[in-house]
């Protein structure tokens, strides 16, 4: 199955992914951007890369291994990826942090790289992530307009907040020790695997039918 840690920058997704995966068997861990981000990367690039990672998850799936992937692609994009219905299971966790903390982390991590307008864009993207996580009808144009033509948005276009398939686990790392956050990610992974084993994972094979 594909286990996805999503969210805007500086919430701790990649750190948590590698730390949690080190405790768990039969799981591979990758960062969405590990192959490099081209100059001018846009929605088309993110959507194509989402499909590439879904296919990588399918390769691991054939070997009996789950993929834990950190990155900013979110539930709606994963579900719309052409090959997504072939996955045995999909689960998504939004790793979030309070805006003042994100702002400070961006300034510390990339000193002088981002001006105030760019940082505000990161915060706006984080806010959109939060709303997308609970409501599929919230501003879908943000990811659909000018998207990669191969994406199949119609799979979830008619879903609402009551649909059990539209479920993103929320993990707020604000003022939380990193070891505690790692524990939470490990627990989430084990829970998703557990419900998948007993056939109760909402995004199990057949969810797109």
pLDDT tens per residue, range 157-170 = 999 998 999 999 99
pLDDT digits over 72-93, tens only? Answer: 999 999 999 999 999 999 999 9
Instruction: Spell out the residues 6+ positions from residue 203 whose beta carbon is closer than 8 angstroms to its own.
Output: 79, 89, 90, 91, 165, 167
Give which of 26, 16, 24 is closest to 69, Cα–Cα.
Answer: 16
CA–CA dist 90, 168 (Å, integer)? 10
Query: What is the predicted pLDDT for the residue at 139?
Result: 96
Residue 122 lies in a domain: yes
pLDDT at 117 over 90: no
Q: Are 95 and 11 in contact (CB under 8 A)?
A: yes
Query: What is the predicted pLDDT for the residue at 113?
Result: 66
Residue 202 lies in a domain: no
User: Which residue reads 């419900």 in tokens?
Assistant: 195
Query: What is the predicted pLDDT for the residue at 122?
Result: 84
- Looking at every residue in the chain, the average pLDDT score rounds to 94
Q: Provide the whole-model pTM.
A: 0.94
pLDDT at 109 over 80: no
Residue 209 lies in a domain: no
Judged by average pLDDT, the poorest of 83-87, 107-111, 132-136 is: 107-111
Task: Please state at what angle helix 116-134 crosses helix 99-109, rounded to 10 degrees.
Answer: 130
pLDDT at 110 over 80: no
Query: What is the predicted pLDDT for the residue at 16?
Result: 97
CA separation, residue 26 to residues 21, 37, 56, 66 (Å)? 9, 28, 15, 6
Residue 204 lies in a domain: no
Residue 90 lies in a domain: yes
Residue 166 lies in a domain: yes
Query: What is the predicted pLDDT for the residue at 78?
Result: 98
Give the range of the structural domain holding residue 182, as residue numbers without chain letter: 2-197
Looking at residue 80, which CATH number applies to its domain? 3.40.50.300
Helix (H) or strand (E) segment spanning residue 134: helix 116-134
**Percent of the residues in the chain that have a pLDDT greater than 70, as a whole number:** 98
pLDDT at 111 over 70: no
Burial class (CB in 10 A: 0-12, 13-18, 19+), 36: exposed
pLDDT digits over 7-56, tens only? Answer: 998 899 999 999 999 999 999 999 999 999 898 889 999 999 999 999 99
Residue 187 lies in a domain: yes
DSSP 89: B
Residue 207 lies in a domain: no
Structural domain total, the chain: 1
């Amino acid at each position: 199955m594909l286990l996805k840690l999503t969210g805007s920058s500086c919430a701790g997704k990649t750190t948590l992914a590698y730390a949690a995966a080190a405790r768990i068997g039969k799981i591979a861990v990758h960062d969405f951007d590990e192959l490099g981000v081209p100059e001018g990367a846009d929605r088309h690039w993110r959507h194509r890369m989402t499909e590439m990672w879904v296919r990588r998850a399918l390769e691991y799936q054939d070997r009996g291994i789950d993929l834990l992937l950190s990155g900013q692609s979110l539930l709606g994009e994963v579900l719309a990826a052409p090959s997504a219905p072939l996955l045995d299971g999909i689960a998504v966790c939004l790793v979030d942090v309070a805006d003042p903390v994100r702002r400070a982390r961006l300034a510390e991590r990339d000193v002088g790289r981002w001006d105030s307008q760019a940082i505000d864009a990161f915060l706006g993207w984080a806010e959109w992530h939060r709303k997308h996580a609970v409501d599929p009808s919230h501003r879908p144009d943000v990811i659909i307009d000018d998207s990669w033509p191969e994406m199949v948005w119609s799979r979830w276009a008619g879903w609402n907040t009551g649909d059990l398939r539209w479920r993103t686990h929320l993990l707020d790392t604000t003022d939380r020790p990193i070891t505690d956050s790692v524990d939470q990610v490990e627990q989430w992974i084990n829970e998703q695997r557990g419900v998948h084993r007993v056939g109760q994972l909402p995004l199990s094979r057949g969810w797109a039918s």
